[in-house]
Structures are given as structure tokens and as C-alpha cells.
Amino acid sequence: MSDKDKKPNTDDLVDVKSLIKGASQGDYTLEDIMKEYGHPAPKGKVVAFPGAAPPPEPEAEPEPEPQPEEAPPSQPEDRPAAKAPPKPPAPDKVIPFPQEEGNPLSAFLKDLGKKADHYADHMFEEDESTDHEEIRRLERLIPGTDREEEPEPESPRWRRPRRQEPPPPDTSPLELSKRYRKGLRGMRVRALLILLLALAALAQALAPAAGLPAPPPLEDPHLQCGLAAALLGCGVLLAGDALFTGLARAFRLKVGMDTFSLLACLFTLGDGVRLALSEPDPDRLPYSVVCLAGLFCLLHGAYHKRRALRLSCRAAAASTTPYRVTLDEGKWNGRDTYAKWAGTAEGFGSQIQMDDGAQRIFRRLCPLLLIEGVLLALLSSYGKDSPDRLLWALSALFSAAAAFGGSVAYGRPFHKVARRLAQSGAALAGWPGIAQSRSGGRVLITDGDLFPPGYVELNGYKVLPDFPAERVVAYTATLIRDSGSALAKLFHDQLRAMGGLMRNAQSLAFHEGGGLSANIRGDQVLVGSAAFMKLMEVGLPQGLNVKNAVFCAIDGELAGIFALNYSLPDTVFPALEELLLEKIGPVLATRDFNIIPAMLQQRFKLAADKMDFPQVSRRRELSDPDQPHSDTLTALLCREGLYPFAEAITAAKRLRRAARTGAWVCCAASALGLALAGYLTSVGAYTALSPLNLLVYMLTWLAPVWLLSGWVHRF
């Protein structure tokens, strides 16, 4: 039977009709579908689905007349009320098609795919920016391969600006030298007299401990205490200038170890007078020996500091046009770099009169120690219902707080360093420049630093035929002069001896291959090394055996050869060794195209691999005499060469470390001494806190400061 002959099953049709009974006959709209899934349908413009034909624009319909509102029909209780349709958006906005909430697994896979694509795009960047260590080592010997690295930007941190004190007047170094010379001999004599008084007080304290009887007039305890107070009073008179300085600094809110020495002497004098006038303990003496020893150290340190200031000012005044040494921020490769440049002594007199590093540390911590000492004295006396202990407690506490190394921490090492630098023709410009030495990691070295005047000689020259000698020498001297090389004076003297004149060069260019080019009176002139001539395809004579020479070519033909002899001073080797030991890397900012790392290593056996050699344009910037420099002066140099330059930098770094370490040792000694003295005075343990025991404690903490000051100049 064919399909046409088959009759439809009416029973099935009846069943299907029963299923769709009551269904709406109209078409379903987008709004109806979105309501079915709980999403309001957007009104306004309809966005076509990708790939579908654009819908026809609906015809404009007339606006219906307003009709009275009718009550909405009642809805069944089991169905929620229909939500009000949202406000249609502006016609110029595109409404994205609402998307169904994504699957978490698919979202994770999509995010993972994005990360994989990003990694694939950037996976070769690190390899392309990284060179092998061997390649880097070899490139250091090639001119123009040391390039600066871009420093990573640091997030700016807000810091509260410190209150700046007005600087002292900028007095000339010569006048300051005369001022510091006055009273030096008297200060030394007074220090020796105080030392004798301290020895007498020490003998007085040692006699009872050794069981030695006192002379008949001094058997009375009243006389013993009175004698100790008298010895201390004489010492106070001899050190009156140093103690007055401590008092003046205290009134300016700059409490230091000299202020503690003054307080210790005053309280000890009061305690000694009280013991002499009252019924004293036969086994008790005031702390006169401790205070006298402290006064000797105070005057001794002040004497050394004054001598150092005088030596530095005298060395700075030795030249009217000294070299200035400054630490320029971020000069090379983002690191602070030392630079030497010709200038004046401006600012030296003001900086050298400022407070040193030890005083700056003391004025921050000593006020806290002062408050601690007063509180401990009150707790040890009134806190223990023993007000008669107050003077003794104050005397013991401040005698223990006045560290012996307070004045020695900076004065003694500064004197030793200044004495060594004066022999080299250098002078440190006070603590502001010394404090900056912490960040100094590079130093610029120019032609004159390695080869001062007189260490480069012209052994002779040869002018090829068809070229006038005066013309060749004049062309070469002109380009050397315009390049700013240290060879300018050498060629100028040769040209003047021939009676020639300099020319005017145009379009001067500097080349990485080690040469210069310019146009002089229509001639194309090339001046440089042998390697540069080969690079420019200039023919050189066969069998040429010249280690260092300057070649001149005119219009592509070799015109002259100037043989040079470089002699390295003996002081260059120890100077570079000092710099490298202090982890200060040399940066060759040379303009002489013959002075390259390969030449220094092959001929003079210098550590060229530890030197930075910038590109020729950068070398010109670093050696420009008109470049900006820091306003803070580190040192003044009165002699040529690298040795005084390196000595000044190394001395600044070592002096900073010695002074700061010594000051912190003194602060630790004062804090610990206050704690021990506070405890012993609270329990009334005079025997444990005797003058001899306290003297041993103070001398023990003085030893490391003394050793540091003796080591600082041994470099």
C-alpha cells in the first residue's frame, strides 16, 4: 500500500488537539519570551542578531488619544503580579543582548586561555634582553658598549621635611685657619694639667683600696672629700671653655655629651662639698676622678678637632682655583657619582663650621637620656624615702652617662684624616659632604686624572708628501682642541713652535670607533687612532709599529702620524686600589680616543674589567665642565691627578663610618651606665658603685672608640 493510500489516524489527532487546547493563536514576541524566563525585554531600538537580516523599520503610528485609566484586571493569587516595564533607554544608546549566566567551568577555561595567550606573546622578551656573562665581559673592552640601565621608578614616599638651621657665614678658609690656630697651644697645656689632676684623684682613690695609709694631714674624711672637690674644681676651671660650649648648646636645645660632662661636674662638686661639710662616710669619696678623666677626654677631643679644622682650612686655602669634589645624584647609571671640576672655595667655610656627625646623633638621643637620668635620681632618692641620696644619685647617674668618647668619636679620627689629606693636597669640607658619602658608588675619571700634565709626550711626527706640515699640524690641533681632550695643550705647543695658527672647524663629529671628523676650509679631515683609520678605509703604511699615535687624514688620504708616549703615574695604582676596596667603581669619562679600557689593561695592567666605559656622547656629557653639580661640597683639591681625588673620597667614607660607629657606642655606654647606676643607687650600693669601679666601666667603653679613631687613616 502506498503512502497516499494511507489514512491518517484520527485518534492521534484528537490527542494532539487536546494538548494544545486553550493555547493562544497569536505569534510570540521577544517580550513574551523574555517574560517567560524572568527577564524584562528591552524597549527602544532592536539590535539584530549577528548574521540575521536587518528587520524592517516600523512605520510611524499616530499617537493614540488619551483614555481614562481603567482598573487592572484581577490576577490569580497563585501568580505573582507582573512587574512594571523598565524605562526605555535613550535612542542613541546600544543595548547589549542579555546573556545567560555563564558556567563556572567555562569561565575558568576562558580565563586560563587568556593567560596562556599572554604568556605566549611575552615568553621571549626576557631572553632577548638577557646577554651571556662572557659576552658582557668581552663587551667591556669595546668602546661604547657600557650603556646605562633604566632605573625602576620608585613609589614616592612622603617625608616630613626637617627643620633646616641657618648655615654659618661662608668665611674664607684662610681666615678660618687663623681663627682655629689661636689658643691651640694653651688648649694642649690645659689638657695635660687636667690629666695630672686626674692622676692625683686616682691616687687618692687607690690608696684606701690598696690599704695604704693616708698622710697625717689627710687622715680626716672631711679633708679627703674636700681635697677631691678641690681637684675637680681646678679641672672645671681649666676646661671652662669646653664646658661653656656644652652649656650654650643646651640652651639651643642641642644637648650632647659635653652637656652631660658639665652636669656631672656640677653634681659631683655639690656632693663633695656636702660630704666635706657634713658627717661623711669614711669609705666614701665623690666621683672626682671620673669627672676629671671625662674632662681630659673632652678637652683632648676638642683639641684634635680644632687641629683638624685648621689643617683642612689651610689646605683649602693653598690654591685660589681649587678642584671641587661633589657627589652628584644619579649621575651615571642611576647611581650617585663623584665628580671633580674646577671652581672656587665657595661654601667650604660655611660647611666646615657645621655640627659633626657625632653631635647630630647626640642631640637626638641625649635629651631622652637626660630625662631618664633625672627620673632615676628621683626614684632612687625620694622614691626610696631617702632624699639625702639625691645629690649622690645625680652625681653617679650623670657621671655614668657622660661617655668619655663623646668628644673623641669625631675629633680624633678627623685630625688623623685631615693630616693625611693635607699631605696629598686635599681637604674635607665638613660633615654635610661626609654624610653623603654613604650613597657614593661611582667616580668619574677624566684624562687629566689618569695622565696629568707632563705624563703624555709627543715623541715625534711624520707628515706625508704632498701635504704641508703646518697645515697638517694645524688641522690636527684644531680638532683636538675642539674635542676638549687633554692633548690640546700638547698639540697647541707644537703648532706654536712651528708658527702656525688654529683653524675653524665645521660639522665636528665624534665617532665610537675612536676618532673625530670635521670640515676645514672645504677639506674633510679625520683625526683618530689606527683602528679608526682602518674603519674609515684610510690606507696606513706597511709595517707600522706605533703603540699609541694620532693619525690625520685629509680627503680620505693619510696626511700625518703623531707618535705619543703615555706614562702612568705610580700613584694611580694605589688610588684605584683604594677606590675598589671601598666598592667605588671608576667610570672612564675620557675624551682622548687613545684612552680606552683595552689600552689601560694591555699596556698598564689596570683592572679594565672593573671600569665602566660609556658611549662617546655620554662621555662628553659626563666630562662637560659646564654640567650641573650638587650644591653640597665634599672636598677641595689643590693638586692634579687621581691620587688626591681618591684619597678624599675614601677618607670621607671611612670618617663617616668611624664617627657614627663611635657615637653609637657612646650612646650605648650612656644608656647602660644610666641603667646600672640607677639600680645601684636605688639599693644604696655605694661599694659596687665606687669611683674606681665606675672609672673602669667608662674606660672599657672608651677603648673601642679609641681603636676606631686610630684605624680610620690607615688605608
> Stretch 377-393: mean pLDDT, rounded?
89
Look at residue 158 in the predicted model and tell me its pLDDT.
Answer: 55
Per the model's pLDDT, the better-predicted residue between 72 and 348 turns out to be: 348
With beta carbons less than 8 A apart as the criterion, state whether 608 and 600 touch.
yes
- Whether the per-residue pLDDT at 61 is higher than 80: the answer is no
Contacts (Cβ under 8 Å, ≥6 apart) of 229: 268, 269, 272, 273, 276, 286, 288
Beta-carbon-side half-sphere exposure of residue 103 (alpha carbons within 13 Å): 4
> Stretch 105-125: mean pLDDT, rounded?
55
Helices 221-238, 257-277: crossing angle, 10 deg rounding: 150
Return mean pLDDT, the chain. Answer: 81
Per the model's pLDDT, the better-predicted residue between 199 and 245 turns out to be: 199
Sign of CA dihedral 662, 666, 668, 669: positive
- Whether the per-residue pLDDT at 87 is higher than 70: the answer is no
> Stretch 204-228: mean pLDDT, rounded?
76
Per the model's pLDDT, the better-predicted residue between 350 and 165 turns out to be: 350
Residue with cell 620608585: 154
Per the model's pLDDT, the better-predicted residue between 40 and 687 turns out to be: 687
> Stretch 91-100: mean pLDDT, rounded?
43
C-alpha cell at 418: 685631615
With beta carbons less than 8 A apart as the criterion, state whether 238 and 190 touch.
yes
- Whether the per-residue pLDDT at 159 is higher than 90: the answer is no
Look at residue 63 in the predicted model and tell me its pLDDT.
Answer: 46
**Measured distance CA(650)–CA(313) in Å, rounded:** 19
> Stretch 246-266: mean pLDDT, rounded?
90
Find the angle CA(537)-CA(539)-CA(545) to the nearest 5 degrees: 120
Q: Give the model's confidence band at 162: pLDDT under 50 very low, under 70 low, under 90 confident, else very high.
A: low
* Beta bridge partner(s), residue 509: 517
Look at residue 661 in the predicted model and tell me its pLDDT.
Answer: 94
With beta carbons less than 8 A apart as the criterion, state whether 594 and 551 touch.
no
Q: Give the model's confidence band at 181: pLDDT under 50 very low, under 70 low, under 90 confident, else very high.
A: very high
Give the lowest-confidence range in 227-236, 317-326, 380-389, 430-439. Answer: 380-389
Look at residue 153 in the predicted model and tell me its pLDDT.
Answer: 53
**DSSP per-residue letters across 88-123:** PPPTTSPPPPP-PPPPHHHHHHHHHHHHHHHHHHHT
- Whether the per-residue pLDDT at 698 is higher than 60: the answer is yes
Look at residue 578 in the predicted model and tell me its pLDDT.
Answer: 92
- Percent residues over pLDDT 90 in the chain: 55
SS3 32: helix
C-alpha cell at 259: 652637656
Q: Give the model's confidence band at 105: pLDDT under 50 very low, under 70 low, under 90 confident, else very high.
A: low
Helix (H) or strand (E) holding 177: helix 173-181
Give the lowest-confidence range in 138-142, 379-383, 388-392, 478-482. Answer: 138-142
Q: DSSP letter for 466, please.
A: T
The per-residue pLDDT for range 26-56, each reduced to its tens digit, is 444 445 544 444 444 444 444 443 444 444 4
Look at residue 456 in the predicted model and tell me its pLDDT.
Answer: 93
**Measured distance CA(512)–CA(593) in Å, rounded:** 9
- Whether the per-residue pLDDT at 485 is higher than 50: the answer is yes
Look at residue 67 in the predicted model and tell me its pLDDT.
Answer: 46
- Whether the per-residue pLDDT at 281 is higher than 70: the answer is no
Q: Which one of 30-34, 89-93, 376-380 scores highest in mean pLDDT?
A: 376-380
Q: How far is CA 323 from the centre of its chain?
A: 22
C-alpha cell at 209: 683600696
With beta carbons less than 8 A apart as the criterion, state whether 74 and 82 touch.
no
Per the model's pLDDT, the better-predicted residue between 117 and 624 turns out to be: 624
Per the model's pLDDT, the better-predicted residue between 96 and 526 turns out to be: 526
**DSSP per-residue letters across 255-281:** --HHHHHHHHHHHHHHHHHHHHHS---
Quote the pTM value.
Answer: 0.74
Q: Give the model's confidence band at 477: pLDDT under 50 very low, under 70 low, under 90 confident, else very high.
A: very high
* Beta bridge partner(s), residue 635: 325, 428
Give the lowest-confidence range in 48-62, 187-201, 509-523. Answer: 48-62
Look at residue 101 in the predicted model and tell me its pLDDT.
Answer: 45
Q: Please give the biggest Cα pair distance in the chain.
A: 160
**Measured distance CA(554)–CA(46) in Å, rounded:** 80
Residue 355's CB is within 10 A of a number of other CB atoms, namely: 18
Q: Give the model's confidence band at 714: pLDDT under 50 very low, under 70 low, under 90 confident, else very high.
A: confident
Instruction: Give the E-state strand segments of 75-222 in sequence order.
Output: none
- Whether the per-residue pLDDT at 12 is higher than 90: the answer is no
Q: Give the model's confidence band at 167: pLDDT under 50 very low, under 70 low, under 90 confident, else very high.
A: confident
> Stretch 642-653: mean pLDDT, rounded?
94
- Whether the per-residue pLDDT at 114 is higher than 60: the answer is yes
**Measured distance CA(708)–CA(410) in Å, rounded:** 10
Look at residue 239 in the predicted model and tell me its pLDDT.
Answer: 93
Look at residue 120 in the predicted model and tell me its pLDDT.
Answer: 45
Q: Give the model's confidence band at 204: pLDDT under 50 very low, under 70 low, under 90 confident, else very high.
A: confident
> Stretch 245-249: mean pLDDT, rounded?
87
